[in-house]
Structure 1
Amino acid sequence: MNSPPDPRQLVRAPRPRLYEQLVEQILVYIEEAQLGPGDLLPAERILAEQLGVSRATLAQALVALEVLGIIDVQHGTGAVLVYRPSLATVIRKLREHQSRLPEIAEARSTLEVKLAALAAERRTPEDLAAIDAALDAMAAEIDGGDRGTRGDELFHQSVTAAAHSPVLGQLMAFIAEMVLETRIESLGQPGRPEQSLRSHRVIAEAIRAQDAAAAAAAMQSHIDLVSDVALLK
């Protein structure tokens, strides 16, 4: 008769994080309510009450689902179901995404800090106009109650264009989809859209002043800011 295994050899299973538990509850609700692609989830206030959590905590779980493309959060409409996945698939993708986040931040630091410095050295009046237009677009989105996702994307695209470095531009295009994941996630943090916009303005002013060192430092500070997301905590 075999002796029982030594319990000291057992590895403690990781405790599911709160947002993972909420994601599971939301998926159970979707299944039980028989929601399909295009259907709306209940309003955040109602869903938070039903789940017994704060709206801020619920928002974290919704952002996780949005990053994975399972829902599309539309300003003025709410969370719309894109497709109905299995719970196991969602949890696996969440953990893969979580482990990938530091690498995405590392890639952004490597590329975008250099791009900001080059933009300060090479920007043209047309480049500055495009950067200003992106800042205005993001400000308008935030003022309208949105997160400023499109304006944020335009800003980083305009800085990349102002660097006039085709190879670095191609590398940024290559990681664009991964950057989009972090953009959605970062701008979903409470107060982050306004913080991000202020950070963009500091970068823009350094580029306008043709101060490459300041532009690089401002971009690194910005990436440090936007890389501080709830899924890493």
Structure 2
Amino acid sequence: MQLSRVLIILFFFAVLSSCEETTGNDTSKVSVGITDAPASVDSIMISFNKIEAKVDSNWLTLFEGSSTFDLLKFTNGKFNLLTQNLDLEGDHIHFLRIKMTGATVYKDGVAHAMTVPGGDTRGIQINVKNGLLKAGISYTLLVDVDARRTFIRTKNGFRMKPVLRAFLIAQTGKINGTLQGWTDDPTVFAMSGSDTVATAQPDPSGAFTLWYLDPGSYSIAVSDTVGFSKAYAGPYTVTAGGTTSAGTLPKSDPK
């Protein structure tokens, strides 16, 4: 199974909120955290020392320090909060810049250390989609690292080619549902055409949530560790800030 996508989350005050909230002053509050989605490796260790944002014409520091952690510890909507409640003054976030100092993928007990292209010097720069801010409002901003394309399997291990996007969480929605009859460690995929957009690991009851989806229509695919897979056409329509129910997805078709 391919690696799924990873999310680095910059929480603007309203942690895990998908709507705007009033702060009662002329600045925005900024919190910085990180989360990811399940992946078919043992762990993904990343290290970085700085996150900056270009707000209006100025580069501002959102996080500075030394942080190393396993992305796979923060799955299915969980997050690692790095910094919170930073005052941010400005009207428009244009870019983010992440200075990543190292990345190591562990697969079958073997460590595959990678060089981060430009990561610890000029940084990885990401355009922020629709980054307009309004004074006194709290925002949540996501940086989406597509691990399927960022960590590329090679003959001798892995190499890194950062593929990232940034957007406000209020512009995304989610799909939830429950698997029925799936017993061999299934994984759930949100599909846009043939592209895997998000993945989720169901809990013991079969319940799952596919997080941070752009508005639009999706199908769902499920596969397990013994090679069985099934597609559910839907379509499942996602709206900004909304939750779409996929209902119960049985492994076997009704007779």
Q: Which bracket does the TM-score occupy, shorter chain normalised?
A: under 0.3
Q: TM-score, normalised by structure 2?
A: 0.20
Q: TM-score, normalised by structure 1?
A: 0.21
Q: Between Structure 1 and Structure 2, which shows a larger proportion of helix residues?
A: 1
Max Rg structure: 1
Q: Between Structure 1 and Structure 2, which shows a larger proportion of strand residues?
A: 2
